[in-house]
Structures are given as structure tokens and as C-alpha cells.
Amino acid sequence: MIVLHGISLPPGRFGGSEIEALFCNQLDFDAHPYFSEIRGIEVSAHLLVRRDGAVTQYVPFTERAWHAGESCFRGRTRCNDFSIGIELEGEDETPYDDRQYDVLQAVLPALFAAYPAISAREVAAHSDIAPGRKTDPGPAFDWLRLYDGLVGRS
Ligand SMILES: [Zn+2]
């Protein structure tokens, strides 16, 4: 499956180097009050999609990344074991950037082609697989827009 996330560090601020630092275990947890709340967490994702559409891959798709945490999809727990995690630089209540949708329209069909077990039906929100614990990518993420762009391509 593919899990879509939203992330910003500190929350609501875009464009800094903090997300990359976190994914590379180099975040200075003393640099911002919020970071002390997440001190020590080890997080990684396969892809990060910035607001401007820039994509960085941190983990090969064939390797496990640590993005889902305690989670469940169709009765199967530990989603990190069988998922690709895509982090969108964003925040639950702020509309995602057009360029991020453009990237997803390109990346998702490529992943569907490479991994035939995955189709648009296997793309879920972090909030779907960890309800009550996670809210991202949040109500600001336009799923209909995503699905409309994928119609006929999966
Ligand atoms: Zn998430």
C-alpha cells in the first residue's frame, strides 16, 4: 500500500531544512520548543514532496521506512512492513500546493506500474491507518482531485 502523510517542522512552517534533518536523524531537538515534544523520534519516509514539487527519496522502495507507526490497513497491522510512505510538506488545514498534486499524478502511476499489487484503492491517509492517533494529511488534502487525476491510469 501507499500511505500519504503531511508534515511540516515546526508545524505550519514550510521551506526549512528541518524535515530533511529529521529523516536523516540530524534534527537539533533543542532548536525549537516543538522539537522537544518529538525528541528522539526516528522517522523516515520513502519520498518527500515539497511545496514546490521537489521530490527527495530517502529510502529505497524495497526497504522499510518508519513512517506509519502503530497502524492497521484491512485488518493487517504494522503498515511499515508493507507500505511506501510519501510525505507531503504541508499542514492539515492548509491547502496543498498544485505542484504536489502534479507530482502525485506522476509518481503514483509509476508505483502502480512497478508494484501491480498497488492500485489507487491501496492509497490511504496516515489518518486512515492510525485513526485517533494521526490526522495527516488532513482535511486540506483533496482526495477527489487526486482520484480524478488518476482515473484511467491505474
Ligand atoms: Zn503521517
Q: What is the pLDDT of residues 102-113, one digit of tens each?
A: 999 999 999 999
SS3 content of the chain, % helix, strand, coil (to 5): 30, 20, 50
Catalytic (active-site) positions = 87
What whole-number distance in Å separates Cα of residue 19 and Cα of residue 13? Answer: 11
Task: Output phi, psi for 7, to 5 deg.
Answer: -150, 140
Task: Output phi, psi for 94, to 5 deg.
Answer: -110, 125
CA of 68 to the centre of ligand 1 (A): 6
CA of 149 to the centre of ligand 1 (A): 22
Please list, residue by residue across 137-149, b when 16 or more beta carbons sit within 10 angstroms of its beta carbon and e when fewer do: bbeebeeeebeeb
CA of 67 to the centre of ligand 1 (A): 6
Q: pLDDT grade, residue 152 (50/70/90)?
A: low
> Which of the pair, 105 or 42, is modelled with greater confidence?
105
Q: How high is the mean pLDDT of the chain? A: 95
